[in-house]
Chain A
């Protein structure tokens, strides 16, 4: 795993301690760490350099307020600048034109244009109640048209049939004509993936743009793209008057520095991000969350959303009541937590989303997914009564459970210890204190934690 900014800065911060202001001298080293962190997140080097200069400007003379240390103050500045750079708020599509409003999709091979076209059609159809027509002008990649046709069929979106024997421009114009006659609000034009250095292909998409006069020309870019994102964005931006960007495959573990490069180079907002393979996996872009992600500061908001998506609300409410009262938390709940953790992609996926300091604290617990499986196995070997009233577990019951789960009695005892600690934690949470106390007790709450 890449070091993240917070971790990187901790060393530098020590030297900064006790200084009341950020100055040219004291932030030099820290800024170098910022640069390195951005480079490791795949932000293009020229962008990194410009950005570092900007941060320096904004940081100089900043007072170190309250109980922040200078390093934290600097991270604050970096985060603010990054958010500002990525556009403060999210920009919606502009569809105010004589229908059909044309949306032209452009990008490299394999960026995800066709899938995104389908997702966008679904989103506009369902959220904006628009009548959408999809058309593919990709006559090059085998079965590209077929792919969009299949997607359109799945999504029940109108599809304008085209054929590889036709010219892309003819297809686009015919689709536009069809959309006008059949009163479609929106026409989404998928195009072939092309390299920015391929002059013939770039000329083709320019001619498509000239003929269709799209109100939105969206550059589709893979979140995993490296340094070359700057060159590609520049070339596409020069060839086409882009109106925005869609960042795809953000559900991977890439830091997505490409987002920053593309935003910086094209100057156009990132409008959507692709967050899942499923057809509803297209979301509005949140600059602030992206800034956190690029900096490796953890994406707590997404974590919360993940939790909301995968946790059964009724169960969760029941659970919340138990936590509030601090009573009645039994092994059934303990097991449910494990199951839900797994639904959210396992502990390690969750850890990735925690801010660095917290995940470091939690990493001390040495979470072992196999130990978690074992824990679940042990609970499964208990009777419902035992799960509800763990206090009745004495030596003979423990022996039976251990045999049933294929473990030693020692493991059963370990589990019960962890459970008791968790129970204590729950009581603490129900009292005052909240997060700080909980994190201190983190090592205990993680089933499978080796203490």
Chain B
């Protein structure tokens, strides 16, 4: 039963040299290939569908952080398909699972649409170390690629050198960063929005300090930041992105709930999918607290944050040919 520990952690399924040239989907697939290869070997056994196979399937879903609830849901859906379509071969189970997963994840694939609000204000929130600032750097590049002008607001006034980190991203992308020597997140972002209005900037990306959802006073503070943004520009922020680390386990659910309760989150960003973590927690979120997944991050490069496409994600997760 300890089989997967023995064969996988050395990372022998991933070839770093070749991964550079594989393109976007290839890299996503590579990064998720561990789950895929587990499933691959399971389905290629060529046996009949039996209880052991289901249990094995459950094991794989759980080790991908899908969680008990969503795993059970997916399995019962697969069982239903097996019954309805009279499937008998183990190999057919893969398509059935892909189908169930896609049905679960498809509603989350709603890309972020930048309307003609000027500026379109995006507020980034999340726990400490999820990758908010790095994601902002990548998003700035992404929006520039779409011909939009971008301005960054250094709203993380708490962590040491968070401002400098964002300024470095700004310098790399040649984007203005509004920052203050010290002080209040809301004030910095307020300034940034005014600056963006004056300069006719298309998109404002507002960074905020990481906070654990149990810190009641910090959750109150971020609500205030949102209110102040609305004062600077009525109707803003137009998008509130919650950044989740793909390594996170079931706590991602409680993060999603807590931030959504506090702020009405409009979209999710799933970062750090380039390790061995599989981001299966997205399925758990889809099951119990669905929110659109706007972007996923699959590498450290500036171009490695891309819109979430459910078909690609499922195909990569299960090792299907897309």
Residues of chain A touching chain B, judged by Cβ–Cβ distance below 8 Å, are 1-2, 36, 39-42, 44-46, 49-50, 108-112, 115, 118, 141-144, 146-151, 154, 195-200, 222, 224-232, 234-235, 238, 249, 251-255, 257-258, 265, 277, 345-346, 349
Say how far B51's CB is from chain A's closest CB, in angstroms: 15
Within 8 Å of chain A (Cβ to Cβ): is B112?
no
Given A110-B131, A231-B276, decide whether A143 and B249 contact each other with a Cβ distance below 8 A.
no
Q: Given the interface contacts A39-B62, A228-B277, does A254 sit within 8 Å of B9 by beta carbon?
A: no
Contact A253-B213, Cβ < 8 Å, known A109-B272, A226-B249, A228-B276: yes
- B9:A196 contact, CB within 8 angstroms: yes
Task: Determine if A45 and B9 form an interchain contact, defined as CB atoms under 8 angstroms apart.
Answer: no
Q: Which residues of B contact A254 (CB under 8 A)?
A: 249-251, 254
User: 1/0 per residue B42-72: CB within 8 Å of A?
Assistant: 0000000000000000010011110110000
Cα separation A146 to B133 with both chains bound (whole Å): 15
In the complex, the answer to whether A252 meets B169 with C-beta atoms within 8 Å is no
CB nearest to B244 among chain A residues: A224
Instruction: Note all chain B residues with C-beta closer than 8 A to A196.
Output: 9, 11, 275-276
Q: Which of B90-98, B157-165, B231-239 contacts A (4 or more CB under 8 A)?
A: B157-165
Q: A345 touching B164 by the CB < 8 A rule?
A: no
Q: Are A45 and B62 within 8 A (Cβ)?
A: yes
Closest partner residue, chain B, to A236 (CB atom): B9
Which listed residue (A41, A149, A222) contacts B129, Cβ 8 A? A222
Complex: chain A residue closest to B271, CB-CB = A110
Give a binary string over B1-26; 1 marks a CB under 8 Å from any A CB, 0 the rest: 11011001111001010000000000
Q: Which of A45, A118, A149, A151 has the most CB of B within 10 A?
A: A45
Across the interface, do A109 and B131 meet the contact criterion of CB distance under 8 Å?
yes
Given contacts A46-B5, A226-B277, 6 further A-B contacts (CB under 8 A): A40-B67, A142-B165, A196-B275, A197-B11, A224-B249, A277-B158
Q: Is the CB of B161 within 8 A of A195?
A: no
CB distance from A85 to the nearest CB of B (A): 16
Instruction: Give the residue name and chain of the B residue nearest to A258 (CB).
Output: B249
- 17 A-B pairs with C-beta separation under 8 A: A36-B68, A42-B65, A44-B63, A50-B2, A110-B245, A118-B160, A142-B172, A143-B163, A154-B160, A199-B16, A200-B16, A225-B248, A228-B276, A231-B8, A234-B9, A253-B251, A345-B215
Contact between A251 and B215, CB atoms less than 8 A apart? yes
Please tell me if the beta carbons of B2 and A46 are within 8 angstroms of each other in the complex: yes
- Given the complex, which residues of B lie within 8 Å of A224, measured CB to CB? 127, 245, 248-249, 251-252
How long is the Cα–Cα vector from A151 to B164 in the complex, in angstroms?
13
- Which positions 134-189 of chain B face chain A at CB distance < 8 Å? 134, 137, 158-165, 167-169, 172
Q: Among B11, B159, B247, B250, point to the contact of A228 (Cβ < 8 A).
A: B247
Contacts of A148 in B (CB 8 A): 160
With A110-B131, A249-B129 known as contacts, the answer to whether A231 contacts B9 (CB < 8 A) is: yes
Taking CB atoms, residues of chain B closer than 8 Å to A255 are 250-251
- Find chain A residues with CB under 8 A from B245 CB: 110, 222, 224
Q: Nearest CB to that of A53 among chain B residues? A: B1
Interface presence of B115 (CB below 8 A): no
Min CB distance A45 to B, Å, is 5
The minimal Cβ–Cβ distance linking A39 to chain B, given in whole angstroms, is: 6
Across the interface, which residues of A come within 8 angstroms of B64, CB to CB? 227
Q: Which residues in B have some Cβ–Cβ distance to A below 8 Å?
A: 1-2, 4-5, 8-11, 14, 16, 59, 62-65, 67-68, 127-131, 134, 137, 158-165, 167-169, 172, 212-216, 245, 247-252, 254, 272, 274-278, 281
Q: Evaluate whether A235 and B11 lie within 8 angstroms (CB atoms) in the complex, with A142-B168, A224-B127, A249-B127 already known.
A: yes
Q: Write the nearest CB–CB distance from B224 to chain A, whole angstroms.
A: 17
Complex Cα spacing A245 to B10, Å: 20
Contacts of A199 in B (CB 8 A): 11, 16
Residues on B with C-beta less than 8 A from A277 are 128, 158, 212, 215
Query: Distance in Å from the Cβ of A238 to the closest Cβ of chain B?
Result: 7
Q: How far is the CA of A112 from the CA of B245 in the complex (A)?
A: 13
Is B161 in contact with A232, judged by CB distance below 8 angstroms?
Answer: no
Inter-chain CA distance A255–B316, complex, in Å, is 29
A45/B164 in contact, CB under 8 A: no
The reply to whether A142 and B249 contact each other, CB–CB distance below 8 Å, is no
The docked-state distance in angstroms from the alpha carbon of A118 to that of B160 is 11
Kindly state the separation between the CA atoms of A346 and B220 in the bound complex, as whole angstroms. Answer: 13
Say yes or no: A226-B248 contact (C-beta < 8 A), given A196-B11, A252-B213, A277-B128. Answer: yes
> Which listed residue (A1, A150, A238, A258) contacts B161, Cβ 8 A?
A150
Contact A249 B128 (CB under 8 A): yes
8 closest residue pairs by CB, A with B: A226-B249, A110-B129, A142-B168, A42-B249, A147-B161, A197-B11, A150-B160, A143-B164
Known: A42-B251, A196-B275, A197-B16. A234 touches B5 (CB 8 A): yes
Q: With the chains together, A346 CA to B258 CA distance in Å?
A: 15
Whether B127 pairs with A108 at a CB distance below 8 angstroms is no
Q: Is the CB of B164 within 8 A of A235?
A: no
- The CA of A133 and the CA of B151, in the complex, are separated in Å by 38
Known contacts A196-B11, A277-B158, A225 near B249 by CB under 8 Å: yes
Most buried by A among B172, B247, B252: B247
Q: Are A46 and B277 in contact (CB under 8 A)?
A: no
- Complex Cα distance, B159 from A144, in Å, reads 11
Closest CB in chain B relative to A138 CB, distance in Å: 11
Residues of A within 8 A of B213 (CB): 252-253
Using Cβ atoms and an 8 Å threshold, which residues of chain A touch B275?
108, 195-197, 228, 232
Known A-B contacts A45-B59, A199-B16, A228-B276; the reply to A249 vs B212 at CB < 8 A is yes
CB-based nearest B residue for A265: B5
Q: CA separation between A194 and B58, bound complex, in Å?
A: 30
CA distance A202 to B215 in the complex (A): 35
Are A146 and B164 in contact, CB atoms less than 8 angstroms apart? yes
Q: Is the CB of B9 within 8 A of A226?
A: no
Bound form: Cα–Cα A200–B14 in Å: 13
Residue of B nearest to A48 (CB): B62
How many whole Å from A210's CB to the nearest CB in chain B? 20
CA distance A228 to B63 in the complex (A): 7
Is A225 touching B160 in the complex (CB atoms < 8 A)?
no
Known: A40-B67, A40-B250, A195-B275. A46 touches B165 (CB 8 A): no
